[in-house]
Amino acid sequence: MWFQQETYPELVKRKWQNYNRDIISKVNMLASDLQKWNTNVVGNIFRKKRKLLARITGIQESLCKKHNPFLLNLEEDLIREYEQIRDQEAVYWQQKSRVTWLQNGDRNTKFFHLSTMVRRRRNKIEGLLNQSGELCTDLPTMKNIAAAFFQALFTHNPSEDIRFVIPYLFPNLDIDAINWMSRSISVGEVHSALFSIRSLKVPGVDGFPALFYKKHWNLLFAEILSLVTDAFILMEKFLIVSITTSLLLFLK
């Protein structure tokens, strides 16, 4: 809806370049400034819609009584503005429905609770197969079968298979595979990942849908790339520490 406003692109560019913080802080500050701009510039689209309809109705009533070229031109302009408001309203409700879905899902409302109950009834276990392949439907036997299954699943059984003995747990990698895995993140990869996200999917914690980042890719791509690169570096360090700790504990 904001994209249709003439002042929006320059506002975002000017605000973003004036912020002197990390990308997360800049996004939060931009969200706050855009909310103020929305109140002062965009205004209440529903109130605007009612006023336009009232003016168009009044003009059409006057035209029914007497032909007036000025009113005809004014009617065309107001109808054009009214159609723009309707387009904005359609986008507003489309995004609003996704936000409402997210909030209602978090609150576990009656609708989602009933949906869960229906799904539980559909997923009710009517019987289990024992070790002989026979179907058992009485509750005590089913409980024993389930308990025996998970007991066997989580019981350690020593294996002589060398694939499960250190150092055979970690296969050798050639230099090309190591270089490929440790290569730097490219702008193209980040661009491809971002633009593969559906534009108006439920927004993240910052309130912006993917469409916002697509729209302003040329303005934000350097900081987005830096954010992703830092995330991979932290993940790599975390994995190294985790694997080293696991090996030390195992060797003890």
Report, as an integer, the average pLDDT of 36-46.
80
Task: Tell whether the model's pLDDT for residue 117 goes beyond 70.
Answer: no
State the chain's mean pLDDT as an integer: 80
First to last CA, the chain: 61
Task: Tell whether the model's pLDDT for residue 194 goes beyond 70.
Answer: yes
Predicted TM-score of the model (pTM) = 0.54
Q: Say which amino acid occupies 250.
A: F
Q: How many CB atoms lie within 10 A of CB 12?
A: 20
Total number of domains in the chain: 1
Within-domain flag for 179: yes
Within-domain flag for 245: yes
Report, as an integer, the average pLDDT of 164-188.
77
Structure tokens belonging to residue 120? 């539980």
Residue 88 makes CB contacts below 8 A (sequence gap 6+) with 1, 4, 45
Task: Tell whether the model's pLDDT for residue 110 goes beyond 60.
Answer: no
Please give the pLDDT value at position 111.
47
Please give the pLDDT value at position 240.
81
Q: Say which amino acid occupies 89.
A: E
Report, as an integer, the average pLDDT of 66-76.
88
Give 129's strand partners: 135
Task: Tell whether the model's pLDDT for residue 121 goes beyond 80.
Answer: no
% of the chain exceeding 90 in pLDDT: 21
Q: What is the DSSP letter of 186?
A: P
Within-domain flag for 217: yes
Residue 84 makes CB contacts below 8 A (sequence gap 6+) with 4
Within-domain flag for 134: no
Within-domain flag for 145: no
Please give the pLDDT value at position 221.
92
Within-domain flag for 200: yes
Rounded distance between C-alpha atoms, residue 172 and residue 174, angstroms = 7
Structure tokens belonging to residue 69? 């070229």
**Which domain, by its residues, includes 223?**
162-252
The burial of 135, by beta-carbon neighbours within 10 Å (0-12 exposed, 13-18 middle, 19 or more buried), is given as exposed
Within-domain flag for 81: no
Within-domain flag for 52: no
Residue 126 makes CB contacts below 8 A (sequence gap 6+) with 137
Radius of gyration of the chain (CA): 30
Please give the pLDDT value at position 215.
93
The band of 6, judged by pLDDT with boundaries at 50, 70 and 90, is confident
